[in-house]
Structure 1
Amino acid sequence: MAAREPDWVPGDAWLAPGYAEWAPPAALRGAVACLWASVVPDGADRTTLVLPDACSDLVWEQGIGGYVAGPDTGPVRTVTKAGTVIVGVRFRPSAGGTVLGLPLSEVRD
């Protein structure tokens, strides 16, 4: 018997070049703002300016592993190598610390 996709995964979800975000399962929506994926196309690195949004993210990046990002107090320029896949969970403002069990001041900026 084939496994069914969870009902909250978009039917057209796949890791194509670009950025996509979608709503989390209903049970997580109090703490989680969105789930997201970013795939940098082959051929050129991507430079992005990340603007502060008071959120923190639990991130997995191909070739690096898992880490926590934010919240940021100012804009941050990032460079991601061509062909990289990144997936993340964005926590609502102030929710990340509770979920991760640490003060957000430890991961700020």
Structure 2
Amino acid sequence: MITLTENAANHIQNFLSRRGKGEGIRLGVKTSGCSGMAYTLEFVDEIQPEDIVFEGHGVKVFIDPKSHVYLDGTQLDYTKEGLQEGFKFENPNVKDECGCGESFHV
């Protein structure tokens, strides 16, 4: 299961409204960084038959089955800390992260 905080959902809804189209967002992983994997986020305009769909606070999150293995249980939040703002991933599967926080290992 993937969950969204209300802050994350509001931020995504604002992006979708400004964009004028989209079914929701796709959350995934790719091989990258010094720890092995990095998160990916993109808009979904076309739903794929194999997509796993979760919904929170009125926003749909789409995940492909391969990424779901690494993301199951993740909570997506949107935070502002000083001058830094962005999405924050609380993933219970992560065993280690790189120092810059851009990649992780499960």
Q: Report the TM-score, using the length of structure 1 for normalisation.
A: 0.28
Pair member with larger Rg: 1
More strand by share: 2
Question: More relative contact order in 1 or in 2 (CA 8 Å, sep 6+)?
Answer: 2
Q: Report the TM-score, using the length of structure 2 for normalisation.
A: 0.28
More helix by share: 2
